[in-house]
Structure formats: C-alpha cells, structure tokens
A and B are shown apart, each in its own frame.
Chain A
Amino acid sequence: MPADSPLLSVRSLSKRFGAVVALDSIDLDVSPGSIHALMGENGAGKSTLIRCLMGAVRRDGGTVLFEGTACDPASPRHAEAAGLSTVFQEVGLIPHMSVAENITLGRESRRWGLIDRREARARARRALARLGLTIDVDQELGGCSIALQQLVAIARALDVSARLLILDEPTSSLDRRETAELFAVLRRLRDEGVGIIFVTHFLEQVYQLCDRITVLRDGAHVVTRDTRDLPRPQLIAAMLGRTPAAPGASVTSAAPADAAPLLRATGLRRRESIEHADLTIPRGAAVGLAGLLGSGRSELARMLFGIDRPQGGRIELNGETFSPRSPRDAIARGIALTPENRKSDGIVPNLSVRENIVLALQARRGVLRSLSRREQDAIADEFIARLGIKTPHREAPISTLSGGNQQKALLARWLAANPALLILDEPTRGIDIGAKQEIESLIRGLINGGAGVLFISSELSELVRACSRIVVLKDRRTIGELRAPGLSEEHILEAIAAHA
C-alpha cells in the first residue's frame, strides 16, 4: 500500500486528567503492513494514547481516522468491531474464568444460541498454538503465572483478525523463547498487511522488530522516524530529553566470599512448586536467579518469604534455622520481597504515593514508633526524585500513576525499609532505562551496606551486571551456580541448555 494512505491517522489528540496533561496534541500515522514502536519514559503517555484510541477513555480533542473514516469508539467493544484489537498494559483478564473462556469470551461460537464449549476450547488451543504454547486451557487464569496470563491476553488479541493490532508492553514478563514466538507471529501478520503498534521498554526488541519509531515525552510528540534512521543513542536521547549517563560499573561482592552467609537454603522442596533447591546468599552480595519461565524462580522466592511453606529441606538465616510461617515472620527478620504481580500483591491502589512508599518502613517500626509526617514526606520525596517517579505530587493516589511509575513506587517501598535481605522478583519490568540504572545503583548501595539481595530477572544482561553470583534453575531444580569472573549471558544460556 502506498505510504500516503495510512491505516491509522491521529491528529492533535489531547487528553488531560485534572491538572495532568497526559497527551498534548499528538500526531501519529501507522501504515498497514508495518510495525510501529511507541516509545517513551514511564508516564510519557503511551498507554493513555492507546486507551484513547480504543475508547477506554474519551479523548478531549483531536481527530482519528481509521482506514480513512473517522474513528471515535465509545468503548473497546466498538473499537474491536471497527477492526482494532489491543493487549492492554497489565490489565488482567477475568481471574476466575478458565484460560479457554478468557480467550473466547464475547466471541464464542454458538449452536442454537448456546455456547459450544468444545469449540471454544479447541479455538483457544489453536490461538495458543500460534504462540507455540500447549497448556491446559481448562485451568483457571488467576492461578497461572504472570507470563502465562500475558500470553493468554496476547492470544486473545490475536484471535480476531484485526487490521490494527496494539500491544502495550506485551513482552514485559516474557522470556526469550516466548518473545521470539510472538515476534514471528507479529512479522507474519505484518506481511499479511496488518498494522501493529508496539510498546516496550526493551530497546533491542524495537531494533529487532519495528519498522518505525515514534517517541513521546511528557505527553508530547518528540520524533517519528524509520528505525534505521534513529540509532540507539539518539532514541535514548529523544526519550530522556538529554544524553544518558554512562552505565555504572558492574557490581562485585563487598564482603569476602567465605564470610558466614546471610541465608543458606538446602534441599528445599514443595509439591507442584520446587523439586530441589540449594541456595546461598552471602552478606553484601547480590545473587541472581536465572531460568526459563516456569523454572521455579518465583516459587523459590515465595518460600523464602514465608508465603508458601517448604515441605522439605531447611533454611538458615544468620546461621539459625529459619522457618517462616507467613510473610510477617520474614519481614520481622528483615526480609523484603517485591512481588512479581504488583497489581494483586503489591500496591494499595487507593493510598497515596507517599503512603505506599512508607508502608513497609512503618510496618517494621510498629505502631508505637510512628514516622512523623515530616520524615514520611522526606522519604517519599527522596525516592520520587531518585527513581524519577512521575506523579503530580506525593499525595496523588498511586492508581493514577502509569504502570512503570507504580512499579517504581513499589520498589521504593522496600528500598526505603532498608532490609537485610531484599528479594526482587522481576523488579524492572516495565521500567524505563533511566530508572533501571538508578535501581541498579540503589541495589549497589544496599549491598555496600552489608545487605544481601536475591535478584530474579528474565533479562540476563541485567542479572550479569547486578550480581556477583548467579544460581540457575531448570525444571524446578537448582542446577548450578556461576560466579563472578566468568559470568555472562552466554554462560547462563549454556548452563540451561547443557543440563538435560
């Protein structure tokens, strides 16, 4: 199709939330048969733009043409009927319904007015198979891992033949293999003439996949270019509005390796969760947990934090046996966990940013030694500034923040509590590059103060940078440990592949 007839054409679209200008006169053209990256820091307005396009929120002004006709859907239902399909950023589907139902809901094929459940299951299996997945489609969605839930949402969006497919951070919880499968599907769709808008904070994915890039900053349009004309440094500069600082040096252990470990777990196991795990976390060091999806990384973290109780093996903390019955026990001993699923396990949506940040610190101090308001304000302000949390003020309800900014506030909560052992489960998911560096340096600060860190991430480069040891999990067992000189992404991948 000629470049002068775009599939989607957005002109001076604007949206405010109270005093916050989320989108300020945005222009965007998406051609059919192309993949268009929408980039920008946390809070730049990417998700808001998508929500406006889909009619999930009403825009304040501007025009949108889809296939040459005006497009102003009153709700996502209308947008879908018009030929748009979206994976929204981390909104869950329906937790207490099965995977199959979540994929087919609202589009079930019917016989004599009744839903054909067998057909629905078959259709769901086909939709998942396109992403290379064969899973039990009858299991309840809410019990699936975040990554799987994300894949189900993608499968749902792919299950209609939309002419414009919008994906808001679809790969944030996926590891390499799933991402590769997804990209293969997206390239195929592009070749069939589908227009695709793709949002991510992973720059390498943009350069792998996308034909064109649009950068937003603070709700305004900064630049739109073909990918090959916008090299990485310029892209980063456009997103940040300045040239980035050089990345910090990689971390080394602050304590001698043979010092008594902070935590030692041996032979941990639990049915349907972990078969066998050995793990040692020294003082003043960051230990990484690497492994594929479903290898048991989060499950191991849950046991250390007292959410699930191990059915075998033992945990020692500071040389003493430690068997936490609940997260409260773990918190009392100075352990902190930033959970994988922040929506259901993390943020308290109706509390302000400040209240969310001081929550853990306050809890550790107990009700009697409460933090003065001035201390709370100082702590909140410090983390808002250090992590660049984009919020109108510290009293804004956290639920009005963009996805990445909520994640930053949640991290701030545990960093502020100054834990002895910090467990980070995919902490940088959906976080922009500026903040990632700041988080790495905060982790370094904790380590230098003698704390231990357990770092779970699907991003191997990040693990290699932040950790001095990496424990590799496969099929719910720890299969080895890699140590500081000799840590690289290749070594981790080799370790996973070598262990049959």
Chain B
Amino acid sequence: MKRTPHARHLPLLVTASLVLLVFIAGALVYPRFASFGVVRNLMVDNAFLAVAAVGATFVILSGAIDLSIGSVMAFTSILLATLIEQHGWHPLAAIAFAVIVGGAFGLAQGLIIQAFELPAFLVTLAGMFIARGGAFLVHPQSLGIKHPFVADVLNERLSLVLPVGPHGVTIPLLVDIALLAIAAAAVVLSFTRLGRNVYAVGDHEQGAMLMGLNIRATRLSVFTISGLCSALAGVVFTLYQQSGDPAACKGLELDAIAAVVIGGTLLRGGIGSVLGSSLGVLLLGLIQTIVTFQGNLNSWWTKIVVGFLVLAFVALQRRFTR
C-alpha cells in the first residue's frame, strides 16, 4: 500500500471544486451573481479573514491553536484609530507600530506556553481576554478615522490597477495585502526551513526533536507569526471599516479555524496548506453571498451551512489521512 502525497491533497481538491460548484450554482440561480462586482465584494469583504486564516494555518499546522486572533484584531484596530485620530500619528507609522505590537503579543504567548509547558489553548484563551480588555482600555467605543491619507491614499490611490478591459481592473489595497500575505506564507511554508519545521513538529514532535530540529524556535516563530497576522488582519479590517472598534471581530478566530479546516488542514497538525485555507475563506464568503442574494434567508443560515461543512471535512480527513 503506497500512500502518495496526492492522497492528502484530496481535501484541497474537494474545497477547490466546492468553491467552483457554489459559484456556478449561484450564477445559475441568481442572474447578477456572476458579475465583477460580486467577485470584487467577495474579496474585499473577506480580506481580513483571509489574513487571519494565514496566521491560524501556521499555528494549526504546528499542532497548536490560537484563540486570541479576533481580540488582537480588535486591539489593533482601536489602537490604530486612536493613534491616528487622537495622537496625530501618521497612518503608516501607526500601522507599523500596531503590527509590531501584535507580533510581540504573539511572541509573549509563545514564550509563556514554552516556559511553563502550558497548553496553547489555555494561554491563548487568556490572551483573548487580555487583548479584548486592552482594546477597551485604549478607547471604550468605536472611533472613525478621517485622516485624508487613509481615505485617499490607502483606500484609493494605492489600489492595484490591472490593465484588463476598457477601464482596467482595480484591486483595492486591502485585497492586495491579503494576497501578498497568502503568497508569502505559501513560500515560507514550502520553501524555508522554518516552514518545513512547522510541518514536522505538527506531524511528529518527538521524531522532529530526535531529528535535531529546533522545536522551541519553531513554536515561538509560529506564535509570533500568528500575532503578526492577527495585527495585519486588524489593519486590513480597519481600512475596510474606516474606523477602529474595540468590540469588533468577536469570535473571528473561530471563523478562521473553520476556514483552515475546510481548506484541508488537519487540526492535529502536520498536513495542510495556506492555499487551502484561502480557498476555505472563499467558500465561507461565497456561502455568505448566496445567503444574502437569496434575500429571504436568515443570515444565520450561513453559520449552519459552515457547521455542516466543517463536520464533512473533518470526516473526509479521517478517511484520507491516518
């Protein structure tokens, strides 16, 4: 019985096919579904979730979990808003600072997990509360951002314009950020020692240790990357909303985890890809779009469908990986 690497890419293929199928179904049922505007909105509306899912992919591949993602996003967004609106920081400086804070937060969580040999679940659960509380400390309610640089440059002029069609195709900056993050993560995971170590640690930690891999450094990097991605997702979210909100993104880490699982990554670690997670995000977004198009459906239907999808994928993985 030879197991080729193809067998474990099957969930990925299934996700990709589902994305296509759902899109085609939508296009057949709703006349204006297959339009450029719908696709564009799909990308814009889900850019921040995609970035969050990139970080979650690293953590889950390594066999751990990060529950602080949503709170760190909220913290980042309100920190950005206050720095820009109330302290007169330039948006670029504020963004750089916020991302560094997010990375440091992730690193700190990793250090605590390592030093006291605590489960990631509990430490990041604590992190979730701390970041959420911290967000409200920074500013107790949402705060709009009116800085012209954000509105004009970041959200308008920095958009990528592809020379396609009569007017060109505009890809907003926040989508570019998400695509860049996905591409960078894919390269790191496939072509760097860190990336391969993440897989090895998630697949067989004891073996990886005996093979002389640096488990500690790998785990710390993973949590730092997750923190960085959460903060970056917070930045994208802030650009999207044009405001900061300490109450935002509640439970978003669970959406990210769902996207990762639907994308074919094993919750136990060791198998999966960031491409899969991105497809997972797309699928979640598409389902949401369909529910919206249907109009008479309660939007909670999205959650129910997602729940069944997660179940189906967990079952699929049990079947194809041992």
Contacts from A to B (Cβ < 8 Å): 54, 56, 75-77, 79-80, 86, 88, 91-98, 101, 105-106, 108, 110, 113-115, 117, 138-140, 142-143, 156, 272-273, 299, 308, 344
B191-219: which have CB < 8 Å to A?
191-193, 196-197, 199-200, 203-204, 206-215
B1 interface hit (Cβ, 8 Å): yes
Instruction: Report B99 CB to chain A, min CB distance, Å.
Output: 21
Of A91, A96, A138, A139, which one neighbours B206 at CB under 8 angstroms? A91
In the assembled complex, the Cα of A46 lies from the Cα of B212 at a distance in Å of 20
A94 touches B208 (CB 8 A): yes
In the assembled complex, the Cα of A98 lies from the Cα of B203 at a distance in Å of 12
18 contacts between A and B (CB under 8 A): A56-B209, A75-B212, A76-B211, A88-B210, A96-B8, A96-B199, A96-B271, A97-B199, A97-B203, A105-B197, A105-B200, A106-B211, A110-B193, A115-B193, A140-B4, A140-B5, A140-B8, A142-B322
Of A95, A96, A106, which one neighbours B213 at CB under 8 angstroms? A106
Number of interface residues of B (CB under 8 A): 31
Contacts between the two chains (Cβ within 8 Å), count: 95
Of A80, A94, A138, which one neighbours B204 at CB under 8 angstroms? A94
In the assembled complex, the Cα of A344 lies from the Cα of B321 at a distance in Å of 13
Chain A residues lying within 8 Å of B187, measured Cβ to Cβ, are 114
Of A79, A139, A156, which one neighbours B4 at CB under 8 angstroms? A139
In the assembled complex, the Cα of A449 lies from the Cα of B54 at a distance in Å of 62
Contacts from B to A (Cβ < 8 Å): 1-5, 8, 187, 190-193, 196-197, 199-200, 203-204, 206-215, 270-271, 321-322
B212 touches A139 (CB 8 A): no
In the assembled complex, the Cα of A308 lies from the Cα of B289 at a distance in Å of 45
Q: Is the interface of B mostly helix, strand, loop or mixed?
A: helix
In the assembled complex, the Cα of A143 lies from the Cα of B190 at a distance in Å of 21
Of B192, B203, B208, which one neighbours A115 at CB under 8 angstroms? B192
B4 touches A96 (CB 8 A): no
In the assembled complex, the Cα of A115 lies from the Cα of B196 at a distance in Å of 9
Of B1, B197, B203, which one neighbours A95 at CB under 8 angstroms? B203
Which of B197, B200, B204, B212 has the largest number of chain A CB atoms within 10 A?
A: B212
Chain A residues lying within 8 Å of B206, measured Cβ to Cβ, are 91
In the assembled complex, the Cα of A308 lies from the Cα of B199 at a distance in Å of 29
Chain B residues lying within 8 Å of A97, measured Cβ to Cβ, are 196, 199-200, 203
Residue on B with the closest CB to A111?
A: B191
In the assembled complex, the Cα of A86 lies from the Cα of B210 at a distance in Å of 9
Chain B residues lying within 8 Å of A95, measured Cβ to Cβ, are 203-204
A105 touches B204 (CB 8 A): no
In the assembled complex, the Cα of A93 lies from the Cα of B38 at a distance in Å of 47
Instruction: Report A287 CB to chain B, min CB distance, Å.
Output: 24
- Given A91-B207, A105-B213, A140-B4: 14 more A-B contacts, CB < 8 Å: A56-B209, A76-B210, A76-B211, A77-B214, A86-B210, A92-B207, A93-B211, A96-B203, A96-B321, A97-B200, A138-B5, A139-B5, A140-B5, A143-B3
In the assembled complex, the Cα of A91 lies from the Cα of B203 at a distance in Å of 13
B191 touches A114 (CB 8 A): yes
In the assembled complex, the Cα of A456 lies from the Cα of B26 at a distance in Å of 58
In the assembled complex, the Cα of A271 lies from the Cα of B322 at a distance in Å of 21
B209 touches A75 (CB 8 A): yes
Chain A residues lying within 8 Å of B321, measured Cβ to Cβ, are 96
Of A94, A142, A273, which one neighbours B200 at CB under 8 angstroms? A94
In the assembled complex, the Cα of A238 lies from the Cα of B201 at a distance in Å of 41
In the assembled complex, the Cα of A138 lies from the Cα of B6 at a distance in Å of 11
Residue on A with the closest CB to B199?
A: A97
Of A88, A105, A114, A143, which one neighbours B2 at CB under 8 angstroms? A143
A108 touches B196 (CB 8 A): yes
Instruction: Report B238 CB to chain A, min CB distance, Å.
Output: 31
In the assembled complex, the Cα of A140 lies from the Cα of B213 at a distance in Å of 19
B200 touches A115 (CB 8 A): no
Residue on B with the closest CB to A272?
A: B2
B4 touches A105 (CB 8 A): no
Which of A106, A115, A138, A344 has the largest number of chain B CB atoms within 10 A?
A: A106
In the assembled complex, the Cα of A273 lies from the Cα of B196 at a distance in Å of 31
Chain B residues lying within 8 Å of A75, measured Cβ to Cβ, are 209, 212, 215
In the assembled complex, the Cα of A443 lies from the Cα of B69 at a distance in Å of 59
Chain A residues lying within 8 Å of B214, measured Cβ to Cβ, are 77, 106
In the assembled complex, the Cα of A77 lies from the Cα of B201 at a distance in Å of 14
Chain A residues lying within 8 Å of B192, measured Cβ to Cβ, are 110, 113-115
Residue on B with the closest CB to A92?
A: B207
Instruction: Report B222 CB to chain A, min CB distance, Å.
Output: 16
Residue on A with the closest CB to B215?
A: A75
With contacts A139-B2, A139-B4, A143-B3 taken as known, whether A96 is within 8 angstroms of B209 at the C-beta atoms is no
Chain B residues lying within 8 Å of A273, measured Cβ to Cβ, are 1
Residue on A with the closest CB to B208?
A: A94
Instruction: Report B58 CB to chain A, min CB distance, Å.
Output: 17
In the assembled complex, the Cα of A108 lies from the Cα of B196 at a distance in Å of 10
The 6 residue pairs across chains A and B that have the minimum distance between CB atoms? A143-B3, A114-B191, A77-B212, A80-B212, A76-B212, A94-B200
A272 touches B1 (CB 8 A): yes
Of B210, B211, B270, which one neighbours A96 at CB under 8 angstroms? B270
A115 touches B191 (CB 8 A): yes
Instruction: Report A399 CB to chain B, min CB distance, Å.
Output: 11
Instruction: Report B60 CB to chain A, min CB distance, Å.
Output: 14
Chain B residues lying within 8 Å of A79, measured Cβ to Cβ, are 212
Which of A98, A117, A138, A140 has the largest number of chain B CB atoms within 10 A?
A: A140
With contacts A139-B4, A143-B3 taken as known, whether A156 is within 8 angstroms of B211 at the C-beta atoms is yes
Instruction: Report A51 CB to chain B, min CB distance, Å.
Output: 9
Instruction: Report B132 CB to chain A, min CB distance, Å.
Output: 36
Chain A residues lying within 8 Å of B207, measured Cβ to Cβ, are 91-94
Instruction: Report A343 CB to chain B, min CB distance, Å.
Output: 11
Chain B residues lying within 8 Å of A272, measured Cβ to Cβ, are 1-2
Residue on B with the closest CB to A273?
A: B1
With contacts A97-B203, A115-B192 taken as known, whether A105 is within 8 angstroms of B270 at the C-beta atoms is no
In the assembled complex, the Cα of A138 lies from the Cα of B2 at a distance in Å of 12
Chain B residues lying within 8 Å of A308, measured Cβ to Cβ, are 1
